[in-house]
Structure 1
Amino acid sequence: MYYVIGRPKAGQIFRQIAQSLIESKKIALGAFGRRLKSKRGPGIATKATARKLAVLYWRLMVKGLDYTERGIKAYEEKMQLHRERWLVKTAKELGYELEQIPI
């Protein structure tokens, strides 16, 4: 790895870590990166994942906050709940009422 003008070393390190996280199959940040990669492309996904990782690092080192990796399953459940809330809100705005069908 070499230093490029305008790209700090820490940023390069976080981007490299983010690329490997996107490849991982068991870490929630990787699932976040893959979801973003499918929607916005690999460059934006890598940068967004690197930023999220840098914020977590900063919170851990400077603020002393705890962080526990909950895994992909918890991340996917959270995204499912977010989609359901969005769907209910959008349906309500359009004048529809949703009803859950048991499977």
Structure 2
Amino acid sequence: MPLNVAMHQALWFTHSSFPLEIRSFDEDCLVFHPGAGDTFVLDAFSGFLLSLLSPAAQDGVQLTSLVAAGLGVAIDQSLHDQVDGCLSDLYGLGLIECDTQ
């Protein structure tokens, strides 16, 4: 499956006015969104990726590199796909924002 160029060119970020509260527990991660008043249970990978996001926008390539460095894994198509899917899921939950420029 080819790299999803649109996902990797998009800029991903969190809201500076609603800093997320993230707590990791082994294989799970709890996230509280103060703006929405919602709490989410995420898997460890999603929580790790979310912890790398900030109000400063980053593209998918940057985020994939940060994930690879943080987890000590190689960057390959599988990791790109996993990051893309996770970004899409986090966006769908309203935890992150996307700017497609």
User: TM-score if structure 1 supplies the norm length?
Assistant: 0.24
Structure number with higher helix proportion: 1
Higher relative contact order (CA 8 A, sep 6+): 2
- Greater Rg, structure 1 or structure 2? 1
Structure number with higher strand proportion: 2
